[in-house]
Amino acid sequence: MRSMRFILSVVAAVLLLTLGASCTRNLKVTSPDKQNSISLELNEKGTLYYSVLSHGTDAIMQSMMGMELTDSLFDFNSGLSHERTVRSVIDETYSLPTGKTSVYINKANEAVFSFKNRHGKILQVVCRAYDDGVAFRYVIVSSSGITVRKELTRFGMPLNTMSWIMDYVPHYENIYQERLFDTIGIKALSFPALMHIDNNFWLLLTEASVYNQPACHLKKIATGNEMEIELPEENYSMESVWESPWRTFILGTDIGTITGSIMVENLNPPSVISDMSWIKPGVAVFPWWGNWMANSYIDTLKMYVDLAAEMNWEWIEFDVSLVGSPFRTSKLWETTDWLPEFTSYARLKNISVYGWDEINILKTPEGRDHIYGRYLDLGIEGIKIDYIDSDKQYAMQFRNYAMKDAAERNLMVSFHGETMPRGQRRTYPNVMTLEAVMGAEYYTFKGNHSPSPEQNCTLPFTRNVVGPMDYTPVTFTIRPEVPRTTTYAHELALSVIIESGWLVMADRPDAYLNSPARNFLKKLESAWDETRFIDGYPGDYICLARRKGDKWFVAGINSGEKREIDINLGFMKDGKYEIEIFEDKPGEEMTNLRIRKEIVTKDSTLHVTISANGGFCTLIE
């Protein structure tokens, strides 16, 4: 009997060791549909690596992970051992007042992998796998505080990967260049980064959930086909619990998976606003684009209010502190006596007003109290905050305070001179839009490059995927400072292609009031119940369908030579619809439209010819 008990004990011990080894090897999270996964692995030196697999394709080759803090007791670059794994399922639905959809479904498998270093300190790696991608973040807990020196995360790309990535600038107003990733030299690059792998698979690399720590960017490195995380500053500190941004990988065999993803929002904390009834997305007019000094004259501003009222639009951007100044904050507005008259006039016309000021004025609690308080006294319902131009910790913390303080006062927010979105509109749904784009304001600066058709056809696959984009589109007027190269119909279609909670229409009143598309423009929306990708390729063309209630807006833009597109209308409800299709008028593409009518049903295929650098749009209701 003793020998039998001994044998059983040995068997049990072997089973426990086997299970333990098996658990260590099974550092993997797989998506609900089994198509995406992220795997972690320790090498013989205890250095942590990860890889990403999607639909049987290597999206990220085995790449280093880890963290280094200024306190060497908290270095997690080697000597790690796996301690435990805790698995869970995320399955929730929530609503937001803005975005490419009104109902957000957040469904993923999650695992928290804990690793101990040689000093007994713990690094947690939280991994999630969604049907449209994977993500991970680091978590470190220390009772004495945390000062981060370096994040060791790298991104190993397969060879011959085509990329669309912007060279890094802190205001994110640059060009997404199409380049073979292998050929990019050592340089700083921006999120988001779009990759086409093996010519049949798509990856959008970005980050999410950044509030109190610096936002990061990418750096191409010399050793192999890799990028690494680069911080905008050395050694930043946090309190007892530090969570890194989510390293986010949106994945799909169809690029429509990229354009339709809401993964960035899903990786952010839930809304801090329980009653969102006061949050009002809408179409806005933008006097500054047509006249840098427009905000200094009440009669000019009233003219724009009249435009908004006539066009059934909801907002005017009144750059309050530009009274008396074309670009930078002036204090003149504080003593200008016609401001109450103007805001009363806007209210009488049922047009809401949002203002404008700089981080230098708003960076302190006292500054925000003063400006936000004056706005509320004047009946101004939101603010655009400009000239932040930084990813550093102080700038990210400022944005967090600005959003929070605005939400407490029922004020909506826009950010300019700005970093790209990282999903913060889920936590602060009062955030309407952010810039971080070379938009139509560049037509006003002599000597600058204008937004090209190629860039407009790249933005829906890159920048606008990760959050709202204040491009200030639909500029029909051809300005002598920087003539545009897009057609009239291309500009009209941008009103649908671009997603922004405040859709800010940049042109002068006559451009819209005299437009052959006036009736279409009067029906524009800025927040959507549903978005469908129809067709497209980065830099070449894109066609989208967006739904608000029972209305479907379908639009497309093109770069280069004319293009034929067939659109299956199976997403429509039963019935016959007479629609107007707005296209470029042959021979007058830069200045005019052709409007043709067609009878369609859900069984129809709509055939459209998009002119060179052109566009089209239609409304089905």
Same domain, 308 and 377: yes
Q: Is 265 left (phi over 0), alpha (psi -120 to 50) or beta?
A: alpha
User: Which residue has tokens 């047509």?
Assistant: 290
* Amino acid identity at 46: G
Kindly state the percentage of the chain with pLDDT values over 90: 92
Listed residues 419, 436, 453: the one ending a domain: 436
- Predicted confidence at residue 9, as pLDDT, reads 40
For 302, residues 6+ apart whose C-beta sits below 8 A from its C-beta are: 342, 345
In a domain, 185, yes or no: yes
Beta bridge pairs of residue 129: 109, 134
9-18, 134-143, 283-292, 495-504, range with the lowest pLDDT = 9-18
pLDDT tens digits, residue range 493-505? Answer: 999 999 999 999 9
Same domain, 297 and 239: no
Q: Does position 316 have pLDDT exceeding 90, yes or no? A: yes
Same domain, 144 and 69: yes
What is the total count of domains within the chain? 3
Same domain, 369 and 475: no
Same domain, 388 and 402: yes
- Predicted confidence at residue 10, as pLDDT, reads 36
Q: Is the dihedral of CA 358, 364, 367, 371 positive or negative?
A: positive
In a domain, 237, yes or no: yes
pLDDT tens digits, residue range 50-60? Answer: 999 999 999 99
Residue 13 pLDDT grade (very low, low, confident, very high; cuts 50, 70, 90)? very low
- Predicted confidence at residue 148, as pLDDT, reads 95
Contacts 24+ apart (CB under 8 A), 125-129: 125/40, 125/48, 125/65, 127/29, 127/38, 127/40, 128/29, 128/90, 128/267, 129/29, 129/30, 129/31, 129/32, 129/36, 129/37, 129/38
Same domain, 250 and 310: no
d(CA 396, CA 213) in angstroms, rounded, equals 7
Listed residues 213, 231, 266: the one ending a domain: 266
Q: Does position 3 have pLDDT exceeding 90, yes or no? A: no
pTM of the model: 0.94
In a domain, 1, yes or no: no
pLDDT tens digits, residue range 63-111? Answer: 999 999 999 999 999 999 999 999 999 999 999 999 999 999 999 999 9
In a domain, 607, yes or no: yes
A 10 A CB-CB count for 405 gives 16
Q: Is 514 helix (H, G, I), strand (E, B) or coil?
A: coil
Same domain, 360 and 414: yes
- Predicted confidence at residue 450, as pLDDT, reads 83
In a domain, 492, yes or no: yes
Give mean pLDDT, residues 155-181: 96
Same domain, 309 and 196: no
Q: Does position 23 have pLDDT exceeding 80, yes or no? A: no
Domain CATH code at residue 153? 2.70.98.10
Q: Is 261 helix (H, G, I), strand (E, B) or coil?
A: coil
d(CA 47, CA 348) in angstroms, rounded, equals 65
- Predicted confidence at residue 199, as pLDDT, reads 85
d(CA 504, CA 473) in angstroms, rounded, equals 7
Same domain, 165 and 68: yes
In a domain, 65, yes or no: yes
Give mean pLDDT, residues 147-171: 96
Give mean pLDDT, residues 435-451: 91
In a domain, 22, yes or no: no
Listed residues 266, 288, 304: the one ending a domain: 266
Same domain, 243 and 282: no
Domain CATH code at residue 405? 3.20.20.70
- Predicted confidence at residue 15, as pLDDT, reads 36
Same domain, 619 and 571: yes
pLDDT tens digits, residue range 339-392? Answer: 999 999 999 999 999 999 999 999 999 999 999 999 999 999 999 999 999 999
Same domain, 274 and 262: no
pLDDT tens digits, residue range 99-158? Answer: 999 999 999 999 999 999 999 999 999 999 999 999 999 999 998 899 999 999 999 999
Bigger pLDDT: 450 or 404?
404
Q: Does position 11 have pLDDT exceeding 80, yes or no? A: no
d(CA 501, CA 496) in angstroms, rounded, equals 12
Kindly state the percentage of the chain with pLDDT values over 70: 96
Give mean pLDDT, residues 436-441: 97
- Predicted confidence at residue 204, as pLDDT, reads 98
Phi/psi of residue 216, each to 5°?
Answer: -115, 170
Whether the Cβ atoms of residue 416 and residue 390 lie closer than 8 Å to each other: no
In a domain, 14, yes or no: no
- Predicted confidence at residue 544, as pLDDT, reads 98
- Predicted confidence at residue 25, as pLDDT, reads 63
* Amino acid identity at 57: T
Residue 422 pLDDT grade (very low, low, confident, very high; cuts 50, 70, 90)? very high
For 308, residues 6+ apart whose C-beta sits below 8 A from its C-beta are: 283, 284, 285, 314, 315, 316, 349, 351
Query: Domain residues for 344?
Result: 269-436
d(CA 179, CA 251) in angstroms, rounded, equals 19
Residue 187 pLDDT grade (very low, low, confident, very high; cuts 50, 70, 90)? very high
Bigger pLDDT: 2 or 323?
323
